[in-house]
Amino acid sequence: SGREKWPKGDEKTWKAGLRSVDKDVDAITKSFVNHVQTSLARQPYNIDNLGGYQATALSVRDNLLVNWNETQLHYTRKAPKRAYYLSLEFLMGRTLDNALLNLGLKGQYSEGVQKLGFSMEDILEQERDAALGNGGLGRLAACYLDSSASQELPLWGYGLRYKYGIFQQLISPEGNQLEAPDPWLDNQNPWELPRLDVTYDVRFYGQAERLSDGTGRALWQGGQEVLAVAYDVMIPGYGTKTTNNLRLWESRPKRGFDLNSFNAGNYEGAVESSNSAAAITSVLYPNDHTTFGKELRLKQQYFWTAASLQDILRRFKNLNKPIQEFADYAAIQLNDTHPTLAIPELMRILIDEEDLRWDVAWSIVTNTFFYTNHTVLPEALEKWPVPLIEHVLPRHMQIIYDINLFFLQAVEKKFPGDRDRLARMSLIEEGVPKQVRMAHLACIGSRKVNGVAELHSELVRTTILKDFVEFEGISKFGNVTNGITPRRWLDQCNPELSALISKTLKLDKRVWLKELTKLEGLIPFAENKAFRKEWAAIKQRNKERLAHYVQTTLGLIIRTDAMFDVQIKRIHEYKRQTLNILGVIHRYFTLKSMTAAEKKKVNPRVVFFAGKAAPAYYIAKLTIRLVVNVARIINADPDTKDYLQLYFLPDYSVSLAEVLIPASDISQHISTAGTEASGTSNMKFCLNGGLLLGTVDGANIEIAEEVGENNVFFFGHLTPAVEDLRYQHLYHPIPIEQKCPALANVLDQISGGAFGDAGVYEPLVNTIRQSDYYLISDDFDSYLAALDMVDEAYLDKEEWIKKSIYTTAKMGKFSSDRAINEYAESYWNIEACPVLA
């Protein structure tokens, strides 16, 4: 209203003290020096780059906080419907560069730090990645935060503040992956605000007793109580004041340690319970695409959903609306099934604490939640043992049983007598022990369900949730194709290309970076020779930047006059890094059999791999070992080293991706058809003018739809063939020698010890020789043919550059702005709530 009473003291005095965003270089250097002197308590004559980074970050943080405060106040006053993105993972990477670019202050800050004797580049390099995620799912969450703020949508993220993020990957001399902890908070984290005033209690274990008053309520008492403390991370929008919030919870013991045991001399016992509380948020689980049923992981999931829901409800209650209107003010997005306990938790609150009737509560719940599935791989579909949930969350187990009872009654009514269907759809899977199927719970507890690319969403509808589509109707099951933020994944990681695009389109980047389909304006320039030259020169400089990075970090010299061929992602059998490395081995032996004259015609290639394997994933770790050892042999072979080089870059991260992606000519996205839900790095490579070599899977298909099939390199069997091929492998196997001699030859070389350690690789080789579940033997020949086509296309440099330009130009669809707007409009029903400058 603007006529509110000033709450405390004198309004004028307050307002005189409020700071605004620094805009000029003088204000920036002043704030930098100020932070050196006070926040860091250091002297100008002994401050190093790390100190320079810290002072810059603290100064930028002050500016972010101005906008953050204004945004939050604005939301409170306007009271719009809000969206909440619940994700166990946010793979943010570095913050400083992104914050500077989004604030539009990079130029001023660069000038300022230079005046003080620093270079912005050195300062940026000091920051550690915030790596609170495993891979695609976590990075998607980070891109969506950037887009929600940029689109001025009132959205908050909720996650956990892990003390240790994804492990650091080391490679032993034998080529084995070793895992070291990632103590990312050791240097302090200027990007978070501890909110010691925002805390909630979360209960575990204890007893749940149903009350006999006919209300269906229960009393849940006893057990362990843990404190959730909020840490807020500012999420600046691009070219807008809107600065959203990511709230991460840390677990702490509710009251220090138990004084009784402490006084009784049982120090260990006293400290133990406080340790067990702190353990909940101590480490990110490093598995993607597998679930383990570990108690601590269940506690993480409940701790996070319970704290987040209490926080969301408290905010809603400040509006003084009846609880029945909750879903008109809050949409909660479940990022995969990890936060599914929010469904029975909200039921518990509404019934046991708010005294609502079951069906009233259920209708609120099913209007509040939305569920996104990120994989159809069976081993990744979460299931929790009933006895474990009964033990850790006794009241929730009762509620899940009740939900199941009402649900199965409704199914029985619609499909009378169909017992198989009831068994298939039940929330409880029979067996020893019984298990709760979280995807089923997430599905029936949500307003809508979606997959992350067209093909994947169709597979969700026709395979894992088929029965649910038949029961609930198809309109509940949609698709939102993933996206990536062009701010980080073009402007920030490839500044030269970004500048060339602005110059060519005659548009300020603030326009096209928010309306990415404007890139189509580049198409006519593909025919312009001078433009192509500039385009290619930038790719070349990006290769040199990568080579420089590899030389300074690993001490390896990489040639930059070759084609750069990149596959970077989690190491997993379904992603088929094996297909790639077997292809490299094939190329190596082909080269070795060539005459000098023949070799002269060969297009030199540098092949890069990077990615982490889950620590317990034996076959994935063997794949890394094979790549490292093949690299050792190939790179040292004088016969071939001018034509083929191979590198496994350790410790893949967001920051490493930012250097690799702009340098790539071709990137590989070669999952068995139907297994990669979407993929998002495919979009990043193409946005940076790299061409795509891939299978007809996930978002590759939609990329090809945009850029045209003649501009991507597709190969391999299609999704509908996969099931039959697997069946054949099991029941009518054809010997590999007969089916695919090229592959048989490569496998024999490995088994014969060509890359050392004969025998070590047998378990890996046997996965292919035996059931070959991921269809390496079926796709190998067409993969080699596709690689040849890539080589041939690359020989015509001008044509290749045209394809590259065209690819970038057609990537507008894959902006995460488009994706987040689809969620806002068709799922959450929220609107932009712009903060006026």
Residues near ligand 7GP, by CB under 6 A: 134-137, 140, 288-289, 336, 374-375, 380, 452, 482, 676-680, 698
Nearer to ligand 7GP, 336 or 345 (CB): 336
- Using an 8 Å Cβ cutoff, are 178 and 171 in contact? yes
Nearer to ligand 7GP, 684 or 729 (CB): 684
Q: What is the 3-state secondary structure (H, E, C) of 605-649?
A: EEEEEECCCCCCCHHHHHHHHHHHHHHHHHHHCCCCCCCEEEEEC
Nearer to ligand 7GP, 400 or 819 (CB): 819
| Beta carbon of residue 377, minimum distance to ligand 7GP (angstroms, whole number) | 8
List the one residue out of 410, 413, 460 whose CA is nearest residue 439. Answer: 460
Q: How far apart are CA 676 and CA 699, in angstroms?
A: 8
3-class DSSP state of 444? helix
| Beta carbon of residue 774, minimum distance to ligand 7GP (angstroms, whole number) | 14
- Token couple for 709: 């099939």
Query: From the candidates 569, 587, 605, 810, which is the catalytic residue?
Result: 569
Nearer to ligand 7GP, 143 or 793 (CB): 143
15 is catalytic: no
Q: What single-letter amino acid sits at 224?
A: Q
Query: From the candidates 241, 374, 448, 576, which is the catalytic residue?
Result: 374
Phi/psi class of residue 162: alpha, beta or left (left: φ > 0; alpha: ψ in -120 to 50)?
Answer: beta
| Beta carbon of residue 667, minimum distance to ligand 7GP (angstroms, whole number) | 14
569 is catalytic: yes
Q: At what angle do helices 776-795 and 741-751 cross, to 10 degrees?
A: 100
Outline where 243-294 has alpha helix (H): 259-263, 267-279
| Beta carbon of residue 340, minimum distance to ligand 7GP (angstroms, whole number) | 12
Nearer to ligand 7GP, 326 or 814 (CB): 814
| Beta carbon of residue 698, minimum distance to ligand 7GP (angstroms, whole number) | 5
Phi/psi class of residue 564: alpha, beta or left (left: φ > 0; alpha: ψ in -120 to 50)?
Answer: beta
Q: How far apart are CA 360 and CA 324, in angstroms?
A: 8
Nearer to ligand 7GP, 348 or 570 (CB): 570
Query: From the candidates 94, 247, 447, 684, which is the catalytic residue?
Result: 684
Q: How far apart are CA 565 and CA 574, in angstroms?
A: 20
| Beta carbon of residue 222, minimum distance to ligand 7GP (angstroms, whole number) | 33
Phi, psi of 245 (to 5 degrees): -125, 140
Residue in the structure block whose two tokens are 């190329």: 587
List residues bridging with 715 in a β-sheet: 695
3-class DSSP state of 23? coil
**Other beta carbons within 10 Å of 533:** 12
Q: How far apart are CA 443 and CA 368, in angstroms?
A: 12
| Beta carbon of residue 729, minimum distance to ligand 7GP (angstroms, whole number) | 23
User: Which residue sits closest to ligand 7GP, CB atoms considered?
Assistant: 136
For residue 105, the surrounding DSSP H or E stretch is none
3-state helix, strand, coil split of the chain in percent (to 5) is 55, 15, 30
396 is catalytic: no
| Beta carbon of residue 310, minimum distance to ligand 7GP (angstroms, whole number) | 25
CA angle in degrees (0–180, nearest 5) for 578-583-588: 125
599 is catalytic: no
Query: From the candidates 243, 340, 675, 680, which is the catalytic residue?
Result: 680
- Token couple for 94: 């570095």
DSSP class of residue 514? Answer: T
115 is catalytic: no
For residue 573, the surrounding DSSP H or E stretch is none
Residue in the structure block whose two tokens are 């690299």: 631
Nearer to ligand 7GP, 51 or 445 (CB): 445
List the one residue out of 562, 547, 585 whose CA is nearest residue 643. Answer: 562
CA distances in angstroms from 672 to 113, 704, 714, 774, 778, listed in the order given: 49, 17, 12, 6, 10
Nearer to ligand 7GP, 98 or 700 (CB): 700
Q: Is-cis flag, bond preceding 524, omega within 30? A: no
Q: Is-cis flag, bond preceding 433, omega within 30? A: yes
Nearer to ligand 7GP, 273 or 287 (CB): 287
| Beta carbon of residue 352, minimum distance to ligand 7GP (angstroms, whole number) | 30
| Beta carbon of residue 56, minimum distance to ligand 7GP (angstroms, whole number) | 32
374 is catalytic: yes
Q: How far apart are CA 163 and CA 160, in angstroms?
A: 9
Query: From the candidates 440, 575, 576, 803, which is the catalytic residue?
Result: 575
Greatest alpha-carbon span in the chain = 91
Nearer to ligand 7GP, 575 or 586 (CB): 575
Catalytic positions are 374, 569-570, 575, 680, 684
